């Protein structure tokens, strides 16, 4: 960027920082809406009981929901103990190394376990214990990470651009105030 001796550095940097903030807000809103749709489209079943599930190869997150929607009705349960197992021995149910909780769009839940299988399989998942809703499918963990990444990444970029612009303008003013 070239500057004339009379004018100094422009305010484009401030406008760019504002643009970054607006873009981050827009992307966050789009990601939030997508996460809400993904959450609503997950498969759900009331437990205790047994559910037939089709699992893709790899990891599938399962969530326990104490507030949920089944067949168009809102259901709410108290927290308690439960135990789940898969009928197919090729499906391993295990705890995740991450902790995910959510409360949005009429659903309140947390990551219960992850089902891992080497190939696509259809199996039964049985749970005993307290009443709850078991939900599975494209999880919300990645969506939460994307939203947070956009908010913090956009915010940090905007702050950096703002500071660089401010420092350039201040340095130019000081240099021209003395001379």
- pLDDT for 149: 81
Tell me what percent of the residues of the chain surpass a pLDDT of 90.
Answer: 21
Q: Say if residue 48 is preceded by a cis peptide, omega within 30 of 0.
A: yes
Residue 4 lies in a domain: no
- Structural domain of residue 76, as residue ranges? 43-137
Cβ-contact 77, 155 below 8 angstroms: no
- Is the domain of 96 the same as that of 145? no
- The tens digit of pLDDT for each residue in 81-119 reads 999 999 988 899 998 888 888 888 788 888 889 999 999
Based on the domain organization, do 110 and 27 belong to the same domain?
no
Same domain, 49 and 129: yes
CA 170 to chain centre: 39
* Per-residue pLDDT reduced to its tens digit, 116-143: 999 999 999 999 998 889 988 876 766 6
Q: Are residues 114 and 165 in the same domain?
A: no
Query: Are 55 and 37 in the same domain?
Result: no
Residue 22 lies in a domain: yes
In a domain, 89, yes or no: yes
- Assess if residue 114 is contained within a domain: yes
What integer pLDDT is reported at residue 53 of this predicted model? 92
């Amino acid at each position: 960027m070239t500057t004339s001796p009379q004018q100094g550095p422009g305010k484009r940097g401030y406008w760019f920082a504002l643009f970054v903030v607006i873009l981050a807000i827009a992307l966050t809103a789009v990601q939030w809406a997508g996460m809400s749709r993904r959450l609503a489209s997950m498969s759900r079943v009331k437990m205790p009981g047994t559910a037939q599930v089709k699992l893709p190869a790899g990891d599938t997150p399962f969530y326990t929901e104490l507030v949920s929607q089944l067949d168009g009705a809102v259901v709410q349960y108290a927290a308690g103990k439960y135990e789940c197992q898969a009928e197919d021995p090729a499906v391993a149910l295990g705890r995740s190394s991450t902790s995910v909780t959510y409360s949005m769009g009429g659903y309140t839940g947390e990551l219960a376990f992850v089902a891992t299988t080497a190939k696509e399989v259809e199996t039964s998942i049985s749970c005993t214990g307290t009443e709850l809703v078991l939900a599975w499918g494209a999880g919300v963990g990645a969506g939460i990470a994307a939203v947070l990444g956009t908010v913090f990444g956009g915010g940090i970029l905007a702050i950096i651009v703002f500071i660089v612009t401010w420092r350039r303008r201040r340095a130019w003013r000081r240099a021209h105030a003395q001379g």
